[in-house]
Amino acid sequence: MRLVARVGAVPVVVALPALCFQLAVEWGSGSYGGSLLFVHLLVVVVAGLAGSYSLHEAGHLLAARRWYPAGTQAAWQLTALRVSLLTRGVPPARGARALVAVAGPLPCVVLGAVMAVVSAPTWLWAWYLCHGVFLLPVFGDGITVWRYLLRSLRVSSAREAGDGHGPSR
């Protein structure tokens, strides 16, 4: 059984059996040795995995609201393996797409670095810091950024070659 709630536009899925088990373990037997391990794993999964991906997608959403044209609608696409932000309406400029792509991993990487510096408990900072890999050109965010950069380089090279003000030979 799952409970789906919304925090802003972000759907949050809460596994009720896991929460019930946690409460039973904590209140039922204080001598249960696995209790601390279960709590630790629950914190890592909820605050690390779910928290970092929620922050990642919230970064995309806030950036899309800021840099996409008026009239663009944003919606979440939930599948078994990913959560994505889909937009409909006026197509944004390539530069805006690149900014929105970077805005997803960026808050996670910054928060992960801050948590690592202040020695946050557990290794939660690693979940957040690892979102930097999404800027590699094998992931959706990275592909968007690299396409924009490559296109920008081609356009600037074409301008230099065609305007007569390029380097002299």
Query: Are the CB atoms for 108 and 52 separated by under 8 Å?
Result: yes
- For the stretch 119-150, pLDDT in tens is 766 677 888 889 999 999 988 899 999 999 99
Q: What integer is the mean pLDDT of 46-64? A: 86
Q: Where are the domains of the chain?
A: 2-162
- Min mean pLDDT across 21-35, 92-106, 145-159 is at 21-35
CA–CA dist 5, 9 (Å, integer): 10
- For the stretch 58-79, pLDDT in tens is 999 999 988 998 888 888 787 7
pLDDT reported for residue 53: 86
